[in-house]
């Protein structure tokens, strides 16, 4: 477990998930949590159990499916409702029952928000804080408190804002995180308010939004003023302009201020982790992101080029290797290396050095075409099997497939797929109908193979992600499709890439079925 003296607290799965267009399944959230744990953050806020069924399920599945090495899970929720006991409030019960060792309670610290939004008295708000914190503490959970709208509240009524901090600390909250909920603060002013709050003697944290472009700077100003708990989100995700980018905060504190926050080797994996998370969120990575962006250490050829050759440090603020980045690096190249070294071992294959080299080469070529193996573990394993065993044995071979999309006047759009396959010495022609082309193809493949492989009935496509990748050097844009499938024992993901979205989907689908059959114990022929 991470050192308790300084907290790195991630809220990607709760606050970051508020970002427009970002939609995470429970499985996605579990995967992101594993990546964050790999980075070595101390706390992962998983969501709001009780208020959101998906988040309740996340905490339930986390108990058996997450094996965290560094991080502890935190459940987020509100103080009890006005006029009831914390022990009787069903939402407080959901926090208690989440199984999370830490609960982060959000509480109002702005007098006008208490009166106008919460519609209760300032005194009752303090009672709600006191009662909820002490109740959860008595039930054995560690409690942090997010003081919502703290900085605006301090401007409106400083005595009350500080009273909220004091009340929470006295009731047993270990950390009071001061939140710049509207994100409007600037670093100098924010630092002054944190210093004033430090007078309460409570342990303080900071939670910043980036509406002034200062979320990271504000977080650093708060640390300088004495907070020992920083909150933020992977890649700066969050609503509006986003939250403080936790990766930038960690790199700044560790590399520029000498804090010992995450293991050195994890920091050196930060660029890979940042990109792996974008594969899950399906948000295009920001190439200019500090430290981890593809362009973060890339120089334009010309003026600097010769000097860089002499001494690269003249033109970069840190050695990019410290965060796993490179002066001139293709993400694919990096991902390839990491995938092959780590995943091969993880999957239990021993590769000869010749096979390793060959696999790295294949991954590099495929990733330069737009494939990604970070998020497509099953595709990687199939590729690995191909490399180790010559061409992997096939359960079926495809003669052809075809999809027709029809929109009859006044009716619904329907798709019809025909597949022609060879399996176990038979030629099979089958059709399937669906609401979309991929759905129709999926049905046709099952129709063709289920008689020979009844296990396919348990296979389910659970997620389908599409990303359009920009073409390079005048080529057309290409489409990458990631399909997640499941059976009754687990999940796996496969990838396909093509200029044509249906071909890309077909590739991912064909591998999904093949991998499903391997899992069911069919080695192919
Ligand atoms: Zn927030």
pLDDT tens, 357-390? 888 888 888 887 888 887 788 898 898 888 877 6
Mean pLDDT across 353-360: 82
Angle at 515 between CA 509 and CA 519, to 5 degrees: 145
Q: Are 292 and 275 in contact (CB under 8 A)?
A: yes
Question: How high does pLDDT run on average in the chain?
Answer: 90
Distance 436 CA to ligand 1 centre (A): 38
Strands 397-406 and 414-423: antiparallel
Distance 50 CA to ligand 1 centre (A): 19
Distance 280 CA to ligand 1 centre (A): 21
Mean pLDDT across 327-354: 62
C-alpha neighbours within 13 Å on the C-beta side of residue 237: 28
Please determine, for residue 234, whether its predicted confidence score (pLDDT) is greater than 90: yes
Q: Are 390 and 522 in contact (CB under 8 A)?
A: no
CB proximity list for 169: less than 8 A, separation 6 or greater: 176, 200, 201, 202, 203
- SS3 assignment for 365-398: HHHHCCCCCCCCHHHHHHHHHHHHCCCCCCCCEE
Distance 5 CA to ligand 1 centre (A): 23
Q: Please, what's the b/e burial string for 179-217 (b: 16 or more CB within 10 A of its CB; e: otherwise)?
A: bbbebebebeebbebbeebbebebbbbbbbbbbbebbbb
Distance 97 CA to ligand 1 centre (A): 24
- 14, 133, 227, 318 from 167: Cα distances, Å: 25, 10, 18, 43
Residue ranges with CB less than 5 Å from ion ligand 1: 15
Greatest alpha-carbon pair distance for the chain in Å reads: 81
In this structure, of 55-59, 167-171, 320-324, the range with the lowest mean pLDDT score is: 320-324
Distance 107 CA to ligand 1 centre (A): 12
DSSP reduced 3-state for 294 = coil
Beta bridge partners of 72: 43
pLDDT in tens, 167-191: 999 999 999 999 999 999 999 999 9
Distance 208 CA to ligand 1 centre (A): 7
Distance 176 CA to ligand 1 centre (A): 14
CB proximity list for 175: less than 8 A, separation 6 or greater: 7, 144, 145, 203, 204, 205, 228, 229
In angstroms, how far is CA 357 from the centroid of its own chain?
30
DSSP reduced 3-state for 195 = helix
Residue 521 burial (CB count, 10 A): 7
Q: Give the confidence band of 290 by pLDDT, cuts at 50, 70, 90.
A: very high
State the pLDDT at residue 125.
97
Please determine, for residue 120, whether its predicted confidence score (pLDDT) is greater than 90: yes
Mean pLDDT across 38-60: 96
Residue 451 burial (CB count, 10 A): 14
Distance 202 CA to ligand 1 centre (A): 21
Q: Are 105 and 143 in contact (CB under 8 A)?
A: yes
Q: Give the confidence band of 281 by pLDDT, cuts at 50, 70, 90.
A: very high
Please determine, for residue 2, whether its predicted confidence score (pLDDT) is greater than 60: no
Distance 240 CA to ligand 1 centre (A): 10
Distance 134 CA to ligand 1 centre (A): 24
Please determine, for residue 455, whether its predicted confidence score (pLDDT) is greater than 80: yes
Distance 33 CA to ligand 1 centre (A): 18
Distance 200 CA to ligand 1 centre (A): 23
pTM of the predicted protein model: 0.76
Distance 239 CA to ligand 1 centre (A): 8
Distance 105 CA to ligand 1 centre (A): 12
Q: Give the confidence band of 416 by pLDDT, cuts at 50, 70, 90.
A: very high
Distance 194 CA to ligand 1 centre (A): 17
Distance 229 CA to ligand 1 centre (A): 15
Residue 357 burial (CB count, 10 A): 13
Distance 109 CA to ligand 1 centre (A): 14
DSSP reduced 3-state for 180 = strand
**Cα(54)–Cα(51) distance, rounded to whole angstroms?**
9
Report which of residues 460 and 198 the model is more confident about: 198
Distance 218 CA to ligand 1 centre (A): 14
Distance 1 CA to ligand 1 centre (A): 25
State the pLDDT at residue 329.
36
Distance 144 CA to ligand 1 centre (A): 14
- 73, 196, 208, 371 from 262: Cα distances, Å: 17, 29, 21, 30
Please determine, for residue 299, whether its predicted confidence score (pLDDT) is greater than 50: yes
Q: Give the confidence band of 470 by pLDDT, cuts at 50, 70, 90.
A: confident
Distance 209 CA to ligand 1 centre (A): 6
Distance 54 CA to ligand 1 centre (A): 19
406 backbone dihedrals φ, ψ, rounded to 5°: -125, 135
**Cα(370)–Cα(286) distance, rounded to whole angstroms?**
17
Please determine, for residue 161, whether its predicted confidence score (pLDDT) is greater than 60: yes
Distance 87 CA to ligand 1 centre (A): 26
Distance 521 CA to ligand 1 centre (A): 47
| DSSP string of 265-282, one letter each residue | HHHTTHHHHHHHHHHHHT
In this structure, of 48-52, 306-310, 410-414, 481-485, the range with the lowest mean pLDDT score is: 306-310
Q: Give the confidence band of 338 by pLDDT, cuts at 50, 70, 90.
A: low
Beta bridge partners of 401: 419
Please determine, for residue 133, whether its predicted confidence score (pLDDT) is greater than 60: yes
Distance 171 CA to ligand 1 centre (A): 23
Distance 324 CA to ligand 1 centre (A): 28
- Could you report how far apart the first and last alpha carbons of the chain are, in Å? 47
Distance 258 CA to ligand 1 centre (A): 27
Mean pLDDT across 192-210: 97
354: left (phi over 0), alpha (psi -120 to 50) or beta: alpha
Please determine, for residue 225, whether its predicted confidence score (pLDDT) is greater than 90: yes
Distance 243 CA to ligand 1 centre (A): 7
The edge-to-edge listing of strands for the beta sheet with 426-434 is 397-406, 414-423, 426-434
Distance 210 CA to ligand 1 centre (A): 10
State the pLDDT at residue 364.
80
- 24, 68, 286, 345 from 95: Cα distances, Å: 21, 20, 35, 38
Distance 207 CA to ligand 1 centre (A): 7
Distance 213 CA to ligand 1 centre (A): 15
Please determine, for residue 312, whether its predicted confidence score (pLDDT) is greater than 60: yes
Distance 476 CA to ligand 1 centre (A): 39
Q: Give the confidence band of 35 by pLDDT, cuts at 50, 70, 90.
A: very high
Please determine, for residue 302, whether its predicted confidence score (pLDDT) is greater than 50: no
Distance 220 CA to ligand 1 centre (A): 17
**Cα(206)–Cα(183) distance, rounded to whole angstroms?**
12
């Amino acid at each position: 477990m991470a050192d308790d003296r300084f907290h790195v607290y991630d809220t990607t799965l709760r606050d970051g998930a508020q970002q427009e267009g970002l939609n995470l399944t429970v499985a996605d959230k579990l995967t992101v949590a594993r990546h964050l744990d790999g980075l070595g953050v101390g706390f992962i806020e998983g969501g709001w159990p009780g208020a959101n069924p998906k988040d309740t399920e996340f905490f339930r599945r986390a108990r058996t499916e997450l094996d965290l090495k560094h991080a502890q899970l935190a459940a987020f929720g509100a103080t009890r409702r006005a006029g009831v006991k914390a022990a009787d409030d069903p939402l407080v019960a959901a926090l208690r029952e989440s199984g999370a060792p830490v609960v982060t309670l959000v509480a109002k610290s702005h007098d006008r928000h208490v009166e106008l939004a919460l519609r209760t008295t300032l005194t009752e708000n303090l009672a709600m804080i006191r009662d909820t914190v002490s109740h959860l503490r008595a039930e054995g959970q560690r409690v942090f408190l997010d003081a919502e709208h703290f900085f605006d509240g301090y401007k409106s009524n400083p005595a009350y804002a500080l009273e909220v901090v004091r009340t929470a600390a006295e009731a047993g909250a270990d950390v009071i995180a001061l939140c710049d909920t509207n994100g409007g603060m600037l670093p100098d002013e924010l630092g002054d308010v944190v210093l004033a709050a430090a007078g309460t003697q409570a342990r303080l944290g900071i939670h910043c939004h980036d509406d002034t472009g200062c979320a990271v700077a504000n977080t650093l100003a708060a640390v300088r003023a004495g907070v020992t708990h920083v909150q933020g989100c992977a890649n700066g995700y969050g609503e509006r302009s986003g939250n403080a980018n936790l990766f930038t905060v960690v790199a700044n504190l560790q590399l520029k201020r000498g804090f010992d926050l995450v293991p050195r080797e994890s920091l050196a994996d930060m660029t890979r982790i940042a990109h792996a998370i974008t594969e899950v969120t399906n948000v295009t990575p920001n190439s200019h992101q500090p430290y981890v962006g593809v362009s973060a250490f890339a120089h334009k050829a010309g003026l600097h080029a010769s000097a860089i050759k002499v001494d690269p440090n003249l033109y970069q603020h840190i050695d990019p290797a410290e965060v796993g980045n490179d002066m001139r690096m293709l993400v694919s190249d990096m991902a390839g290396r990491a995938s092959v070294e780590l995943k091969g071992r993880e999957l239990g294959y021993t590769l000869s050095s010749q096979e390793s080299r060959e696999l790295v080469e294949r991954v590099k070529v495929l990733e330069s075409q737009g494939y990604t193996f970070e998020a497509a573990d099953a595709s990687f394993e199939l590729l690995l099997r191909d490399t180790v065993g010559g061409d992997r044995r096939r359960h079926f071979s495809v003669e052809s497939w075809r999809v027709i999309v029809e929109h009859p006047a006044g009716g619904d759009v329907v798709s019809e797929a025909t597949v022609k396959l060879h399996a176990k010495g038979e030629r099979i022609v089958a059709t399937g109908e669906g609401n979309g082309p991929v759905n129709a193809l999926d049905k046709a493949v099952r129709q063709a193979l289920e008689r020979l492989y009844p296990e396919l009935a348990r296979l389910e496509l659970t997620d389908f992600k599409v990303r359009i990748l920009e073409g390079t050097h005048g080529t057309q844009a290409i489409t990458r499709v990631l399909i997640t499938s499941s059976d009754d024992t687990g999940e796996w993901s496969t990838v396909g890439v093509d200029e044509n979205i249906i071909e890309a989907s077909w590739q991912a689908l064909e591998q999904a079925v093949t991998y499903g059959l391997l899992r069911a114990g069919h080695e192919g022929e």
